[in-house]
Chains A and B, each alone.
Chain A
Amino acid sequence: MKYQFKGHDEPFSLAKEEMAELLTDGRLLVNNKIAHASKVGDTWWIHYDGHTFQFELVEPGSSATDDDSNLSAPMPGKVLELYVEVGQVVEEGETLMILEAMKMEHKIVAGKAGTVTSINFQAGDQVEQGNELLEIEEDE
C-alpha cells in the first residue's frame, strides 16, 4: 500500500511484512519499541522513541499532489467554503477551497506558491469531477 505524506516527494509504500504490530489503545510495535499513534484531522501524530512526529496525509487524487497549476475537482460535490479571491497571493499548501462530497469535506490545497488568477466556482456551487475550480499562476 502506498501513502502520500505532505513534505515527502515520494509516496511511502508499505509492504505487509513491514507493517508495525498493532497493540491495544492506539499503540503499535515497531523495531521492538512501542509507538503511539493518533489521527487529528488529516494528520497522523506519532510518538516514537521519545520523539513526536506529525505526518499530514495527502488523500489519493488530492489536488496537492498535482503538479499542474490547474486545480480541478477530484470528485463531484458542492463548494462549501472559498478562502481566496482573485489576485490573492497564496503559499504552497494553503487551503483554497473546501469541497463537500458524500458528507466528507475535502480540502483543495495550493500545490505551489503563486497568485490566484481566476476562480470558477463560488461557495454553494455544485461541481462535477474534473471541473477546473481555480487557477494559480506561479510567481516569477
Chain B
Amino acid sequence: MTISKVLIANRGEIACRILRACREAGLATVAIYAQNDTGTIFTELADEAFLLEGDSIASTYLDQSQILEIARISGADAIHPGFGFLSERADFAQAVIDAGIQWVGPSPEAISKMGDKMTARITMRDAGVPVIPGEEIEETEEQAALMAIEQASHRVGYPLLLKASSGGGGKGMRSVDDPSQLESAALGARREAIAAFGDGRVYVERLLTGSKHVEIQVLADRHGRTIHLAERECSVQRRHQKVFEEAPCATMTEEIREAMGQAAVAAAEAVKYEGAGTVEFLLAPNGEFFFLEMNTRIQVEHPVTEMITGVDIVREQLRIAAGEPMSCPELSIRGHAIEVRLYAEDAQNNFLPAIGPLSIFKAPEGPGIRLDTGVRQGDEVTPNYDPMLAKLIVWAPNRTEALEKMRRALDEFVVLGCTTNIRFLRELCDQQEVIEGTTDTTTIDRIWPNGWTPSVTEQQKQSALVVAATAESLGLGKTKLQVSAEQNGPVSPFQIISRRFP
C-alpha cells in the first residue's frame, strides 16, 4: 500500500516536524487543530488544516471519531500520531486500520503488548533481558487501587516509583521514599493519569538510584529488517521529565552498546514491531542494565539520534508505512549531539509552568544548530498544553565541542514575555557532572537540593536596569504587539495593493 496524503493527529512542535518530513517526501498533508491553536505554525505548514470542534483536549486531539471523520472528508490515506495524545492508543490504531487508512506506527497488538507494562516486562524477560522489580495495579476503583498499591509496596520495596500504566512524559508519576508518603502520592498519580490518559491504573516499581537512563532507537520494516540506531542518554530529568538528552552516551562502551542494541532488537522482533520505537533501559554504574519500557512511537528526543547517525527517522517512518524497505545503511556514529528542551516554566520556583506572550523569540543560529519548535514570536503561551516551547539541538565532532556549542547557542537564545528555563539549561551545561558525562537520574536534585537560582552578578542586574529605564524613557513600551492586538480584523486587500514593496 502506498500513501499519498498524511493526516497528522498532533499539534505544535512534533506536528511541524512531521509536516515538513511529509512535504520533503512529496506527500500531501492534513493538519487538525483545536480553536486555541488557530494561527500557529503547524496549521500553516499543512496543505489543509481542519478545525476540531470542542474545547477540551478530550473533545479535540483525543477525539478519535472526529479525527477519523476529518481523515475521511479530506481523503487522507495515512495517519501519523506523533507522540503523546493518541500515539500509544491501540484502539485508535485499530480504528484507523479498520477505516482503511494506513497507521504510521506499529500494529495495535504491538502497542498494547508494549503499552501494557506487565506484558512488556514478561515479553522482555522471555527475551532474556533483566527487568526491575515491579507490579501492575489492575484495580480501577480508587479505594481498591489504594489498597492494592499498599500491598504491592511491600513486595517491591522502597524507594519506589508510581507510574501511570498507560503513561509517559512524566505525567502520573511520583517517587515515594517511605510508606508515609504513599497514599497522597498514589492519589496524585491516579488523578494525573486519569486527566492525561483517561486511565487511572498505575504501576509500582522499585526506584533504582544512581543509574543512567539510556535508551535504544529501533527501526523495523515489513521486509524483515529490524535495526537499532544506537543509544541516547536522557538521565538529566526534573520532575521525571527529560530536559537534557545526548547521543551517544558519554560512558557507553562498545560491549554494552552491542548488548543493549541486541536486547532492543530482540524486544522489537518479539512483538513483530514495525516503524520507529524506543526501548528504554536503566544503566547501573556497574554496567548492568534493566528494561524500563518500550515507547511505540517517535520520541521527543529523536533528533540527537538523527544528528549522529544521519538517519531521518520520521522520513523512515513514512517509508516503512508505505511498505517500502527502510533506506538506512549499516549503523555508523559520527560526532556528538545534545538536545535541551526549552520549557515555559519557572526553574526558580520548582519548575512550575509559566504562561505569557512570546513578545520576543529569537533562536540561535549557525553551523551545527537545529531548532525544532512549534511557536514563533507573537504567540501566546497558554496553560492548555504541554509547556515545551522548543527543542534546541546541537551537533559537533565531539562531546566537548557539542557542550561548547550548546552554551553559545543558549546565550544567544532570547525569549521575553514568558518565563523559560533557558538560563537553567545554560547553567546546567557548566556543571561538573554534565561536563564529565557522569550524570544520572538524580543529578538535578543532587546539584540543587534546595532548588535552583541563577548566578547573576550585581553588575549584570544594574546593566539590565539601565536598559529597562532607557527603554521606558524612550517609550519603547508602546510596541507593535499591542497595536496588532487591536488590528485583528481582516486586512483590506486595497491596503496590500497600495503598499510599496522595496
Contact = CB atoms under 8 A, between A and B. Distances in A.
A46 B463 CA distance: 10
A20 B472 contact: no
Band of interface residues on B: 35 or more
Interface stretch (A48-56, A88-96, A97-105): A48-56
Contacts of A37: 416, 467-468, 470-471, 476
Interface in A8-36: 12, 14, 18-20, 22, 26, 28, 30-31, 33, 35-36
Contacts of A54: 419
B359 A46 contact: no
Main secondary structure of the interface of A (DSSP, over half): strand
B470 A53 contact: no
A20 B423 contact: no
A3 to B, nearest CB: 5
A61 B326 CA distance: 69
A5 B359 contact: no
Interface string B399-441: 0000000000011001111011011001000000000000000
A19 B359 contact: no
Given A33-B463, A44-B471, A50 B426 contact: yes
A50 B411 contact: yes
A38 interface: yes
Contact of A48 (B359, B362, B463): B463
Interface stretch (B70-78, B182-190, B454-462): B454-462
B470 A40 contact: no
B368 interface: no
B360 interface: yes
Nearest to A47: B414
Contacts of A20: 466-467, 470-471
Contacts of A50: 410-411, 423, 426
A45 interface: yes
A38 B467 contact: no
14 contacts: A20-B466, A28-B467, A28-B470, A37-B416, A37-B468, A39-B472, A39-B477, A45-B360, A49-B463, A51-B454, A51-B460, A52-B422, A53-B465, A55-B465
Given A36-B360, A39-B472, A46-B467, 19 more contacts: A3-B468, A14-B466, A18-B466, A22-B476, A26-B479, A37-B476, A38-B416, A38-B481, A40-B416, A44-B477, A45-B359, A46-B416, A47-B415, A48-B463, A48-B464, A50-B426, A52-B414, A53-B465, A57-B472
Interface of A: 1, 3, 5, 12, 14, 18-20, 22, 26, 28, 30-31, 33, 35-40, 44-55, 57
